[in-house]
A and B are shown apart, each in its own frame.
Chain A
């Protein structure tokens, strides 16, 4: 009984709309109007016309998630094990970037990466380059940089929570037995925060996979992600069935990637003392 309101909210605001959208994927558009039908043509078109965009999106989101999770782990590790009270300052600094807002961060990177941006000016001043680097902005690099920066605080929190849950006892025992820092990290720390790593990866993978604003603003002519096409199918072409089919295909592809990553993390970071 206690969970009934939660289930009701979940059902009305998530499950039902999603179910409707799933039904729409089998409908058709006739003269720009939604027409009930039962066809797999939308899915066929998605795999025929948008597979490249889907694969590109999954790859770029995967790269972003890997970089973000690695960086977040490094920062969280520093806060938990290496920096003492200074760790709180690092944590606050990382979380303070959340106040900046999404668009502000995008435009900040635009200002930094442009031909006359601070990055290029710094490199020129240091004498490392003669001409501004053109590919810094309006490129996949810019999309990756911007989204890694945006996702970092979100990935940091679950990993830090996981690291804080690790007891000192096994760490001290390992040290006493002569294990080095890398061995301790690999065999004790990482296995014990595996679920946190997965949560961080999931967050930093799913949000970029669905993003369509960042690639439009800082991506170049070849950085259009699947979100851009879903948006265009719904709004521009008024083709909700194909847009919904592309959205569900993206969901499926994301789920497969996450299942794989979960399997990989389990395989690599299983506690050694369990064997």
Chain B
């Protein structure tokens, strides 16, 4: 009854007597014990916050390393390399292992977002092939201190349907009239700008003048408006386009041909202007409280089991000399481990970070991103 004498309807969802209460207490106790048991298990496992491309964690956990050591991966999978910068900026200490884009490593180190690596805690670092180290060093290390550890490499090369067309020899082949509406690129702006800049004869696409960048942008707009079927948001979508016979030529990545499968005839080609080469590395977020675990995982990624597991699962290449020797025939068919120098200094080109600050007439990083937006808007 309310204070003013009106009857208030109280809805009672349950009636409780002493027996019910005791029964309930017993049930809560049992649930609590079960819960505590579960918590005990959870405490034994170590959560590792991983930020990177899907599949890039496979090297870290190769040979069941995560299960053996009790690591549970909390993965934040990215759709563009810039997302890692955003995540690191939000809280670098919350990122235990990440796969930053290798040209960004210097910038991330300067910004205090990546921890300097203690190579003593990565004994397998010594096993990395000297050529890989040589080409990774300029981007991944500063004054002799490494901020990322190479674990695989590759390039944004050309991909084509060998049943439909002959092997392309130039990025300009994307603009051949006969492939109009049958060509595609991915949304990787660095690779796209690189390719079109090289078509224009620009030696170093990462150090273009604003005028050169404007010309490159015009060429990309022409490519987009007059030749492309689509800009694929992912390699999965690109594969679908090949499988559905919607495209015959595209920009792509070496593992693509293996991912499509044996029944398909999609192959890779290296254009005469060179492909956009990259070396992928693992970094540790500055301030991560689990850096010891991160080191253990990175060391495992460079062990024979880690390297081969990553290569088998993703069709990506390995970086240690021993893994190159032991790699399976499928891996060796895609990657010529005997001519790494030719790969990094012929088939592909390894780039440095774009200028960050104004430097004469040189375009800066934001100009490149703005150029890509212009292409999308056109």
Contact = CB atoms under 8 A, between A and B. Distances in A.
A121 to B, nearest CB: 12
B86 A238 contact: yes
B225 A217 contact: no
A217 B229 CA distance: 13
Contacts of B164: none
A31 interface: yes
A239 to B, nearest CB: 8
A229 B245 CA distance: 30
B240 A217 contact: no
A31 B376 contact: no
A53 B233 CA distance: 19
Interface string B191-234: 00000000000000000000000000000000011001111010
Interface in B309-368: 356-357, 365-366
Nearest to B246: A115
B230 A229 contact: no
A222 interface: yes
A112 B64 CA distance: 40
B356 A31 contact: yes
Contacts of A49: 373, 377
A262 interface: no
A237 B356 contact: no
A247 B189 CA distance: 23
Given A31-B357, A110-B240, A115-B246, A221 B377 contact: no
Contacts of B228: 221
A185 interface: no
Contacts of B72: none
A110 B236 CA distance: 13
Contact of A115 (B82, B244, B357, B365): B244
A235 B229 contact: no
A238 B82 contact: yes
Interface residues of A, number: 29
Contacts of A31: 356-357
A35 interface: no
B181 interface: yes
Given A114-B244, A235-B86, A217 B237 contact: yes
Nearest to B230: A138
B45 interface: no
B131 interface: no
Contacts of A52: 377
Nearest to A114: B244
Interface residues of B, number: 30
Given A31-B356, A115-B245, A229-B373, A221 B82 contact: no
B369 A237 contact: yes
A84 to B, nearest CB: 36
A162 interface: no
B264 to A, nearest CB: 14
A164 interface: no
Contacts of A134: 181
B82 A236 contact: yes
A237 to B, nearest CB: 5
Given A53-B377, A115-B244, A224-B376, A238 B85 contact: yes
A221 B226 CA distance: 10
A105 interface: no
A91 B376 CA distance: 40
A250 to B, nearest CB: 15
Interface in A179-237: 216-217, 220-222, 224, 228-229, 232, 234-237
B80 interface: yes
B178 interface: no
A116 interface: yes
B370 interface: yes
B282 to A, nearest CB: 21
A239 B86 CA distance: 11
B47 interface: no
Nearest to A117: B244
A101 to B, nearest CB: 17
A30 to B, nearest CB: 11
B83 interface: yes
B78 to A, nearest CB: 9
Given A31-B357, A52-B377, A53-B377, A236 B233 contact: no
Contacts of B233: 216-217
Contacts of A238: 82, 85-86, 89
Interface string B232-262: 0100010010001110000000000000000
A110 B240 CA distance: 10
Contacts of B229: 138, 220-221
13 contacts: A49-B373, A50-B377, A115-B246, A116-B244, A137-B246, A138-B229, A217-B237, A220-B229, A221-B224, A224-B376, A229-B373, A238-B82, A239-B366
Given A32-B365, A115-B246, A237-B366, 17 more contacts: A32-B356, A52-B377, A114-B240, A115-B244, A217-B237, A220-B229, A220-B230, A221-B224, A221-B225, A222-B224, A234-B86, A235-B83, A236-B189, A236-B369, A237-B369, A238-B85, A238-B86
Ranked nearest first, the 4 interchain pairs of A and B with the lowest CB-CB distance are A138-B230, A236-B82, A216-B233, A224-B376
